[in-house]
Amino acid sequence: MPVTPQKNSDKMNIPFVDLKAQYDSIKTEIDAAIASVLENTAFIGGEHVSDFKANFEKFYGVDHCVPCANGTDALYIAMKMMGIGAGDEVITTSSSWISTSETITQTGAQPVFVDVDKYYTIDPTKIEAKITSNTKAIIPVHLYGQMCDMPAIMAIAKKHNLKVIEDCAQSHLSALDNKRAGLWGDAGTFSFYPGKNLGAYGDAGCLITNDEKLATDCKRYANHGALVKHQHDIEGINSRLDGLQAAVLNVKLPHLSQWTTERERVGKRYLELLADVSEIELPQLRANTLHSFHVFGIKVNDRSKVQEYLQSKGVPTQIHYPHAMPFMKAYAYMKATPADYPNSYDLQERELSLPIYPEMTDEQIVFVADSIKSYFNG
């Protein structure tokens, strides 16, 4: 059960994400799973990892799941096994966590950024202008749990013979036209970082695909280039999901659908309660989508003042993200200007993320909304 919030007439101490409440709700199962790992010393590989692979394949409706150490590695492994490397270009969104783009660079390829649309996801109308003879793939990111316009992206990819790797780090169970994130492209990659909608108790990740050869190649590469111990067909990397994280994920996976429903409840309640606040810009929902609401990001002017006021009311907020990728120091060599990526620039300057998690009570949601209203009402 959620921890009872501390409050008085004008303050309520609300967590931004309440991982303790989630643990408390499944404590018996989690403790037993961890004890099993310790009892059997199944720390690397073993039945918990093989069970998670099978469980995720069945749950997600995909032929192959390749567990790995984290979601960043999943992106890198997928690209490497697709043959992407030096001299190639990979198109991706200008608004995401840096793992999306840094893994492109790590393969030897060049990231090429495209601005976002009104849904905070890559704008497909601007992709073709960035395609060159060196372009090999597109990485759409279903940011905050909102689906990209995958039909349009897949049509472009087919036209130009490009690979598509979906970055699903924030979009577990998100769907468009009843088709889940990660099932549209050649592969989908997931992060199970603790704060994700499906989170482990440390770093963890996987990639999914219906391509058997790609799955086999990725599995080999993630395990030092070997499918069988000591038989190294190629050089690879060490990116294995450990038994402890797999055991935790096996417990959590059956709860994911209900947790996603609860995230929808919170997100849509915010939309309802804040609909008449003209001073803020609410996230828009793409038609025919299931938005998994990993992040509920509004846009406001005078963000720091709003953030300070909400903190004084016991309402923590975060900024996802203070720098769009083209404006990070790491990419200063691109010499990007706000005019190059106006929507991403606006997002970095005005986005403010509100607390959201499945265990959030309606009382807490209403308090957050009322606090925002009280700020703008002076």
Q: Is residue 10 part of a domain?
A: no
Sole residue written with tokens 């109308």: 125
Position 123 in a domain: yes
296 closest CA partner among 273, 264, 342, 323: 264
Give domain status of residue 9, yes or no: no
Angle between helix 99-106 and helix 71-81 axes, rounded to 10 deg: 40
- The per-residue pLDDT for 182 is 98
Q: Is residue 134 part of a domain?
A: yes
- The conformation of residue 141, written as its DSSP 8-state character, comes to B
Q: Are 284 and 359 contained in the same domain?
A: yes
In a domain, 290, yes or no: yes
Residues 111 and 90 in one domain: yes
| Length reported for the chain | 378
Which residue shows structure tokens 């417990």? 251
Assess if residue 49 is contained within a domain.
Answer: yes
Same structural domain, 142 and 291: no
Residues 236 and 110 in one domain: yes
Do 333 and 202 lie in one domain? The reply is: no
Of 74, 31, 365, residue with least CA distance to 193:
74
Are 358 and 263 in the same domain?
Answer: yes
Contact 317, 354 (CB under 8 A): yes
The pLDDT tens digits along the chain (378 residues) read 343 444 446 899 999 999 999 999 999 999 999 999 999 999 998 999 999 999 999 999 999 999 999 999 999 999 999 999 999 999 999 999 999 999 999 999 999 999 999 999 999 999 999 999 999 999 999 999 999 999 999 999 999 999 999 999 999 999 999 999 999 999 999 999 999 999 999 999 999 999 999 999 999 999 999 999 999 999 999 999 999 999 999 999 999 999 999 999 999 999 999 999 999 999 999 999 999 999 999 999 999 999 999 999 999 999 999 999 999 999 999 999 999 999 999 999 999 999 999 999 999 999 999 999 999 998
- Whether 236 is covered by a domain: the verdict is yes
Among 194, 222, 254, the domain boundary falls at: 254
CATH number at residue 135: 3.40.640.10
Backbone angles phi, psi at 319, to 5 degrees: -115, 120
What pTM was estimated for this model as a whole? 0.96
Domain that holds residue 243: 25-254
Are 317 and 351 in contact by the 8 Å Cβ rule? The answer is no
> Which residue, 232, 254, 276, sits at the end of a domain?
254
Do 265 and 249 lie in one domain? The reply is: no
Model pLDDT, residue 9: 60
Looking at residue 264, which CATH number applies to its domain?
3.90.1150.10
- The HSE-up count of residue 237 (CA atoms within 13 Å, CB side) is 18
Residues 83 and 55 in one domain: yes
Which of 223, 254, 285 is the last residue in one of the domains?
A: 254
Q: From CA 323, how far away is CA 366, in angstroms rounded?
A: 30
Do 327 and 187 reside in the same domain of the chain? no
In sign, the C-alpha dihedral spanning 64, 68, 70, 74 is negative
Question: Sign of the C-alpha dihedral, residues 330, 187, 293, 340?
Answer: positive
Strands 175-176 and 135-139: unpaired
Q: Are residues 180 and 265 in the same domain?
A: no
Number of domains in the chain: 2
Determine phi and psi for 148, rounding to 5 degrees.
-70, 170
Q: Is residue 142 part of a domain?
A: yes
Tell whether 225 and 99 lie within a shared domain: yes
Judged by DSSP in three states, 255 sits in helix
Question: In terms of domains, do 275 and 328 share one?
Answer: yes
